[in-house]
Every structure is written in C-alpha cells, then in structure tokens.
Amino acid sequence: MTSDWRILKFNNAPVDIIDGDRGKNYPQKQEFSVRGHCLFLNTGNVTVNGFDFSDCSFISKEKDDVLRKGKLNRYDIVMTTRGTVGNLAFYDDSVPYEHIRINSGMIIFRPDPDELIPEYLYHYLKSTVFEEQVEAFVSGSAQPQLPIRDIKQLEICIPEPNEQRSIARILGALDDKIELNRRMNHTLESIAQELFKSWFVDFDPVIAKSEGRQPYGMNAETAALFPKSFIESELGQIPKDWMAGTLGKLFPDGKGVVLTGPFGSHLHAHDYRDEGVPLILVKHVNDGYISDENLPLVGNHKVLELGRYLVKTGDIVFTRVGAVGRSAYVHPRHQGWMISGQMLRVRLPSADLLESRYLSQVYLQPEFIEMVEGHALGTTRPSLNTEILTSFKFIVPPVGLQKAFVETVSKLDSKIQSNFIENHSLASIRDALLPKLLSGEIRVKVENRP
C-alpha cells in the first residue's frame, strides 16, 4: 500500500451505507408493462451481471411515499447482503429508470463524490481485496447474510480523487468492452431465435408459398426446401412431409442418446483439483450457453474412469434437477468438459434424421421449456430422467432444411463464441489488474480533470 493512500474502515470513510426498506407495505407483483410509479427490487433483481429488470415489482406514488428506506439516487451502488451476498449493481446513467427502491436484502453505498468517486468505489467493491474481507464476515449457512454493522468494519483504500478517476477509467474501459460484447451476443441470439420461430414455429415460408408469395428475404434455393401446404399431426397442423417425432422413435436402437451424469458415489468434492477438466453444474447452464465462470475442476486421476461423461462438440447438455429445463449446445471450446450428476447429456448417433444444432434450438423454445417443467418429477426438487426426455414430441423437418438452418446460424454462433472468448480474456485482465490497481501495487498516470 502506498504511503499517500488512506486506509479507512467504512465506518469512517466518506460514504453512507443505507439499508433497504424493512416496512410491511411491499408491493404486489405487477406486469412490467403496467409501469408503476417506482420499481421495487428484491435480491433476485441484482445479479453477478448487475441489475436485472426482467421480473420486477412496482409501487404506486402513494406507496412510494409511505416507504421510508431504500430509495436510490443516481450513482448509488447496490449490494446484496442476504442469500447470495456480494452481487453488485451501479445505478449510473445507463439505467433507464428514475424511481427505484430496494428491499432489506440489500444495502446502498452512497459516496461523497468530492472524496470518493462512485466509479472507483464500484470497482473497489468488485475486487478480491474487498471480496476476501466479505467472506470472512458472512454469517449463516441456510441464509448467508452480512449486516451493515459488519460492513462498516471492513476497510477501503482511498487514493486522492484524480488517481481514483484514472483507475476507474482503465477498469471501466474493460467493463465497457465486455458489456458491448454481451449486448452484441444478445442481439445475435435474438436473430437466431427469431429465424427458428419464423421457419419452424410460425411456418412463415410455408404460409407465403401457400398464398403464392415468395418467402420474404429468402433465396430461391432455400425457399424450395419448404412445402406449400399443411397436414394434420399429433402436434396439430404442420407442413407437408414434416413429422412429429421423439428421440426414442428416431433412434430406437440408440442406447446412450440421453445419458445421466455421474452419481455422487462416483465423484466427490475431494476429486476436485486446481488443475483438471471443467465440471458443468446446473448453475453453469443458462440462456442456451455454458458459463466458464467458477467451474470446479475434476482431477485428471478421475478423467479416465469417468471418460464417458466428457462432452463433444454437437452434444446438448440439459439440467435435470432443481432448475430443470435449461439446455445448451456444446461448442468447440467446451470439448472435453465433463457433466455432473445434475445434468443429462444428449448425443445423437447420426445426423441422417436430426441435426443436433436444430434440436438445441427446439429445447430453447418457451413452449418446450414449459412442457419440460410440467413433466418434471418431484415437487420439492423437480427432476428429469432419460425416459421423459426421450419421449418428448417435437417437429422434425426434412434434414436438408435443418442443415440450411444450421448453416445460417453457424455464422452467428461463431461470432457469439468469439465474443465469449474475448470477454473471458478481458475479464481475466481486469481481474488481474483490479487488486494491483486498488492496492497501489500498480500506479497509474494521474489525469487532472474531472
């Protein structure tokens, strides 16, 4: 630590720490489109990636006036302190909502901007320097929590404001690029989803041809792959020459098409190592992709024994316990990773009837996910087994049309995976720089401007 930096406990630092609202006037859940006067956030609305406004509650102006705590000001920083402790969100100008309150499972950091730059504080709270202090104080096993009285005993390193700004600009530039890639991926994913929906759910090209029109934005070669009429099936009306199928019917002799991961008796926590094969858990599968953050590593001493559970490009991994219904296509960068006992692996024996990339998009459709959840076994801990998954019915177009879809989305997939790889590299650089910059081990050129 440099001699010209202050080291203060938060109790004496130039920052107010404010609790969320503990009152009983909590709002009723409303549809996001209702647009109440004020958003009311719970801990689920603050994730490892910041604010998540996809499922929010709202309150009227009258109820907003009744609540006493938890109202955000611009450039406040929110941290979860109950359940999942340490998730952070920065209420900067990029957040498009003017009125937000938080519940008592979170706290607000409100710095004095003349002494503590909000962007610097945000990065400090994200650093391992701060995280290691938090881990030492978190209490409770069933419901971990970090009271304000404990937070006030933690320490913060405070350089002079211009050096704070310089540090924040360096780290912010990395975060901005990561966020840009994340948004680009979201757009590319939406394009793939909309193409699938148009071709295989809404049947837009078939409808167009049945009405004597050329399918919009489609070349003649691709348009020729679609029929111009419908037939009745087990799944209702589907295009002519298409069929309703299941994995069991398409591959009646395909043992191992759906494989359950290794049971607990075959893989234990003491088999994890600092180096080894990444192990995919339920928490690593979301939105059609496999996260590469905080993956446990299975030691190479177990890989030979559990080799049948390693995934290959073109496999599909499927969550089978707890949060059932999540799936992800295995891209080349996941080749050789291992599924845990929480997962199912789908591996097609051939592509003569079914393309796995097409099937992976079937699994991402909302209707399919709802059907999976409805058939899940168990009430307190929903689960799936191989028999249920192999018996699910879905539409099977001719394989030539499936291949045309795969060829189109493969270009999107390549860019998405490239962005994931770049973000992983950028995050590694940021995470390596963070503690060094925030401890003064690496000094930066001070810019004397606001």
Report the share of the chain in percent with pLDDT over 70.
Answer: 93
In 113-191 the beta strands, taken as DSSP E runs, fall at 155-158
What are 182-199's pLDDT values in tens digits?
999 999 999 999 999 999
Q: Span 152-181, mean pLDDT?
A: 92
Confidence at residue 9, expressed as pLDDT on a 0 to 100 scale: 95
Per mean pLDDT, which of 2-6, 42-46, 55-59, 319-323 is the most reliable? 42-46
What are 304-318's pLDDT values in tens digits?
889 999 999 999 999
159 Cβ partners below 8 Å, 6+ apart? 2, 4, 5, 6, 167, 440
Instruction: Tell me the H-state helices in 55-152.
Output: 61-66, 118-126, 128-137, 148-151
Q: Residue 350 above 60 pLDDT?
A: yes
Give me the domains of the chain, ranges plus CATH numbers: 6-158 (3.90.220.20), 243-396 (3.90.220.20)
* Spatial separation of the C-alpha atoms in residues 216 and 77, rounded to whole Å: 47
* Spatial separation of the C-alpha atoms in residues 80 and 86, rounded to whole Å: 5
* Spatial separation of the C-alpha atoms in residues 203 and 38, rounded to whole Å: 40
Q: Write out the DSSP string of 193-238.
A: HHHHIIIIIS-HHHHHHHTT-PPTT--HHHHTTS-S-EEEETTEEE
Tell me the pLDDT of the chain averaged across its residues. Answer: 88
Confidence at residue 436, expressed as pLDDT on a 0 to 100 scale: 84
- Beta carbons of 402 and 354 less than 8 angstroms apart: yes
What are 280-309's pLDDT values in tens digits?
998 899 888 998 877 899 998 888 889 999
What are 133-164's pLDDT values in tens digits?
988 887 655 568 888 999 999 999 999 999 99
* Spatial separation of the C-alpha atoms in residues 278 and 92, rounded to whole Å: 35
